């Protein structure tokens, strides 16, 4: 629970259910600020950032479908939706927007006249951003999908104290 005098962020006890996330430094007497960094295969990192390009995609100008798809992608990734903001451009019908998550975001920019969409899916903690990709594929039926993965803030666990 967020304390009134604590800095913005998540304040949690050591017994928090997100077992994968590493604990940060003590922020005050009795409180531990949790940073939700991920530990895997000898590395610690802030989160997984997927760059997803859809080629030959359809219905990229459908604002209602885009919102429904973002909501479904968030749910599939086991993330927490805070807010969605979408803008519909005219005359070509492109959409730009973002689903703001407790774990970070999913952003989108579409070019329906080129049948192309660019999604950024960045999530920390226990969220599984890769599970959002099949939701995008089902909604927009692309001919080709290109995914690049970045592990943001990646350091070896042994070196992590150098940056804390």
Report the C-alpha dihedral over residues 42, 48, 49, 55, rounded to 10 degrees: 110
Q: Is 104 a catalytic residue?
A: yes
Q: What whole-number distance in Å separates Cα of residue 159 and Cα of residue 3?
A: 31
Catalytic residue among 105, 124, 146, 164: 124
Find tokens 């949790």 and name the residue.
34
Cis-peptide, bond into residue 68, ω within 30° of zero = no
Residues ≥6 apart with Cβ < 8 Å to 68: 139
Q: Is 146 a catalytic residue?
A: no
Is-contact 95 108, C-beta < 8 A?
yes
Please confirm, yes or no, whether 109 is among the known catalytic residues. Answer: yes
How far apart CA 44 and CA 16 sit, in angstroms, is 18
Q: Which of 88, 105, 109, 115 is catalytic?
A: 109
Neighbours of 151 (CB within 10 A): 15
Catalytic residue among 104, 105, 146, 164: 104
Which active-site residues does the annotation give? 104, 109, 124
């Amino acid at each position: 629970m967020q304390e009134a005098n604590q800095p913005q962020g998540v304040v949690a006890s050591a017994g928090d259910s997100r077992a994968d996330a590493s604990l940060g430094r003590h922020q005050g007497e009795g409180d531990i600020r949790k940073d939700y960094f991920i530990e895997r295969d000898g590395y610690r990192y802030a989160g997984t950032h997927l760059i997803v390009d859809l080629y030959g995609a359809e219905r990229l100008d459908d604002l209602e479908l885009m919102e429904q798809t973002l909501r479904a992608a968030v749910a599939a990734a086991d993330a927490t939706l805070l807010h969605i903001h979408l803008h519909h451009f005219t005359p070509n019908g492109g959409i730009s927007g973002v689903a703001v998550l407790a774990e970070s975001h999913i952003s989108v920019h579409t070019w329906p006249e080129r049948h192309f969409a660019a999604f950024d899916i960045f999530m920390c903690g226990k969220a599984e951003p890769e599970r959002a990709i099949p939701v995008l594929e089902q909604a927009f039926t692309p001919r080709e999908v290109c995914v690049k993965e970045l592990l943001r803030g990646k350091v070896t666990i042994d070196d992590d104290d150098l940056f804390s």
